[in-house]
Structure 1
Amino acid sequence: MNEDSSYYSYLGTDYDNNSTVDPHSIFNWYELAPTLTVYGITFVLGLTGNSLIIATTFKYRRMKNVTNVLLSSLAMSDLLLIVFCIPVKISMMVAKLFSYTWRMGGIVCKGVHYMQNLSAICSVLTLTAISLERYYAIVYPMKAKYTCTLSQAKKIVILIWILSVVLSLPTLEGQIHLPVGPTKEYRYCVKNWDNGNVWKFHELYLLFVVLVGPFCIITFSYVTICRKICKVMGKTLTLTNEQSLSRNYRSLPVDDKSATFNTCGEWSSTRKSTNQHHDTHVVQQVIFMLVIVVALFAICWTPLLVDNVLTAFGLLPHMRFGTLKYMSSAFHLLAYFNSCLNPVVYGFMSKSFRDNFLLQICFKSQSRESTFEKSLSLKRLSRMESQTRSTTIKS
C-alpha cells in the first residue's frame, strides 16, 4: 500500500483504482453528533460569555483596573478562536458527510490553524502578564503604584498581541495542503508529515511557547504570592492575639484619661486589623480565581500539545484508528472548550463580574451605574461624617 492509498485506509475505507464509488462517501453519524454538540455549546457559551466580559470591562468605570483589562484581552483571544476556528471546524465536519477531503483551499487550511495557535499563545501570554502584575502588586506594592497602571496595562495588551502574531508564524510552515489520490484531485489539510524535522521542531516549539516557558513564570509568581499572603496573614493573627490579651488588663487601676486613651487606641488598632484582614481575604479570592483559570488552561491544552509531540516523534501513530482516533478528537475538543470556561469561572467566583453580567443581560442603562456609584459615594461620606463626629465627642 503506497502513501496515498494509506490515507484512504486511515479513513476506514479500502481504496480501489477500478471502483466507481467514492471512498469518501462512507461516514459514521455517531462520530459527528457528539463533536458538533461540543462545538455548538462552546460557540454559544464562549461567544456570549466573552462578549459580556469585554462589554462590562469597557462600559463600567468601576471595572476598569489592570487585572480586568488583561482579562478582557484573554476574552478577546478566546473570541478569536470561537469566531474564526469553530465555524470552520463545524463546516469541515459537515463537509465530511459528502467528502473526506478538504474543500476550503490552502489559505483557510493554514489560516484556521494559525488562528488556533495565535489564540493559545495570546491566552497564555496574557495569563503570564496577569501573574506578573499580581506579583508586583502584592510583593512590591510601592513599585506597583508606578508600574502597574491602567495605561501600562493597555500597552502590555498591545505588546502581547504583537508577540502572539509573530510567535504563531511557524504554524504556516507546519501545516500543509496535501494532495492525495492517484489523480491528485483530493487534498487534505494535515501536518507536514513529509518533512519530519520541521514537524518535530514545530510541535516542540508550541509545547515550549504555550506550556513550559509561561508556566514556569506563572508558577514562580503565584508561589511567591502565596508565601507573601501567608506571611501577612500570620502578622495579622499575631496582632489580633496581642489585642485580645490586652483586653484582659482593662480591670487594672488606671486614671480616666489613660483608660480613654487605651480604649480609643485599641479600637482604632482593632479596626485597622479588621480592614487588613478583609483586604487580605479579597486578595486571596482574586488569586484563587486566577489560579483556577490558569489550571483550566493547562488541563485543556496540555493533552493536545503532548499528543502532538508524541505523534511527531513517532511514539504515537499519525494515522489514528479506534480508541486512538477518539482520544485525538477528545483532545481537540477539550482545547477548544477552554475558550468558554473563563466566563463561567468569573461568574461563579467574582461578585463584581456576576453583577455586571446581570446588568448586561437585563439591558440596564448607564444611569444604573451612575446611581450605584452615587450610592457608594453617599455611604462613604456618611461613614466619614460618623467617624468625625465620634472623634469630636471623644476629644
Structure 2
Amino acid sequence: MENSTLAFSVNENTTEISTQNVTEYDYDYPDFEQPLEELIPVAIVYGTTLILGILGNFLVIFTVLRFQRMKTITNTFLVSLASADLMLILFCVPSKFAGFFSFTWNLGEFMCKAVHYIQNVSAICSVYTMTAMSLERAKRVIGVIWVASAILASPIIVGREHLMVGRKRIGYWCIKNWGHKAWSIVYEIYMLYVILLIPLAFMSFAYINICMELWNITNTCQQMTQNK
C-alpha cells in the first residue's frame, strides 16, 4: 500500500497542495483490516487514557465544587486545569483514536477545525492557569484565562483545512494548510510565544521573586539568632 501523504510543491515563498497527487489515496485494498497486533495495544492505551482521564478530572471538579471547605484559591485553579484536561480528553482522544484506524477523516469539516481548536484552547488554558498560580492571583483571573485562551487559539480554525482527496476512492483529510509558507512560519512562532516563552517569562519572574523572598527571610532569621 502506498503511503497516504500529500505532495507539496514549493514555488519560492508559497506552498501549494498539488491536487494531482491526491490520487495516492486510491489504494487497492477495499477490504483492508487493521492487524490485531497494532489494534489491541493502541485500543488499550487510548481506552485507558480516556477512562482514567474522565474519572480523575471529574473527581477533582466534583470534590472541589461539592464541599465548601475545598473551595480555596489553589483548588479553584485546579478545577480550571481539570476542566481544560477533561475538555481535551472528551473531544480529542476519541477523534485521534478513530483517525488511527482510518485513511480518511470521517468527522466532517466542522469537527476538523473544532477538534484542533479545542486542543489549542486546552493547552493555552492549562499553561496560563499554571502561570496565574505561580503569580498567586485571585479567582477572577480564571475567567479571563478561559476567554483569552479561546481567542488566542482561534488562528488554528483558519489554518486547518478539510480536504477531499482521491479520484477512484473519495476520502477526506484534516490537514494544516495556511496557503503561504510565511503564514505557516508566523503561526509556529506565534504558538511558541503563546504557549512557552510568555508563560515562561512570567513564571520565571514569579519564582525568582519567591527565591529572593526566601533568601531575605533566611538572612533575617540568621540575624535574629545571632543577636540572641
**What TM-score results when the alignment is normalised by the length of structure 1?**
0.48
Q: Give yes or no for contact 1:122–1:160 (8 Å, CA) kept in 2.
A: yes
Q: Give yes or no for contact 1:57–1:63 (8 Å, CA) kept in 2.
A: yes
Determine if the alignment matches structure 1 residue 181 to structure 2 residue 128.
no
Q: Give yes or no for contact 2:158–2:178 (8 Å, CA) kept in 1.
A: no
Query: Relative to 1, partners in 2 of residues 1:222 and 1:34: Cα closer, same or farther, differing over 3 Å?
Result: farther
2:148 to 163, 166, 172: 163
2:91 counterpart residue number:
84
Which letter maps to 1:171? I
Q: Distance in 2 between matches of 1:63 and 1:238?
A: 38
Cα RMSD of the aligned pairs, angstroms, is 2.8
Q: Give yes or no for contact 1:126–1:160 (8 Å, CA) kept in 2.
A: yes
Q: Distance in 1 between matches of 2:185 and 2:168?
A: 30
1:105 counterpart residue number:
108
Between structures 1 and 2, the one with greater strand share: 2
Deviation (angstroms), 1:199: 2.4
**What TM-score results when the alignment is normalised by the length of structure 2?**
0.80
2:126 counterpart residue number:
123
Aligned residue for 1:188, secondary structure, equals strand
1:45 to 52, 67, 82: 52
Larger radius of gyration: 1
Q: How does 1:185-196 map to 2 (within 5 A)?
A: 185-192=170-177, 194-196=179-181
Q: Distance in 2 between matches of 1:242 and 1:50?
A: 51
Q: Distance in 1 between matches of 2:35 and 2:22?
A: 17
- The count of corresponding residues between Structure 1 and Structure 2 is 213
Deviation (angstroms), 1:35: 3.4
1:220 counterpart residue number:
205
- Per-residue CA distance 1:84-143 (angstroms, 9 max, x = gap): 21122222234x2xxx1111110111110011001001111111111111xxxxxxxxxx
Determine if the alignment matches structure 1 residue 114 to structure 2 residue 132.
no
Q: Distance in 2 between matches of 1:6 and 1:232?
A: 67
Query: Relative to 1, partners in 2 of residues 1:32 and 1:221: Cα closer, same or farther, differing over 3 Å?
Result: farther
2:12 counterpart residue number:
none
Q: Give yes or no for contact 1:5–1:181 (8 Å, CA) kept in 2.
A: no
Query: Relative to 1, partners in 2 of residues 1:228 and 1:56: Cα closer, same or farther, differing over 3 Å?
Result: same
Q: Give yes or no for contact 2:91–2:118 (8 Å, CA) kept in 1.
A: yes
1:57 to 52, 59, 64: 64
1:67 counterpart residue number:
74
Deviation (angstroms), 1:79: 0.8
Deviation (angstroms), 1:165: 1.0
Q: Give yes or no for contact 1:32–1:93 (8 Å, CA) kept in 2.
A: no
Q: How does 1:356-367 map to 2 (within 5 A)?
A: none
Identity of aligned residues (%): 37
Q: How does 1:364-375 map to 2 (within 5 A)?
A: none
Q: Distance in 1 between matches of 2:117 and 2:219?
A: 48
Query: Relative to 1, partners in 2 of residues 1:34 and 1:226: Cα closer, same or farther, differing over 3 Å?
Result: farther
Deviation (angstroms), 1:242: 5.1
Q: Give yes or no for contact 1:85–1:112 (8 Å, CA) kept in 2.
A: yes
Aligned residue for 1:103, secondary structure, equals coil
Q: How does 1:237-248 map to 2 (within 5 A)?
A: 237-240=222-225, 243=228
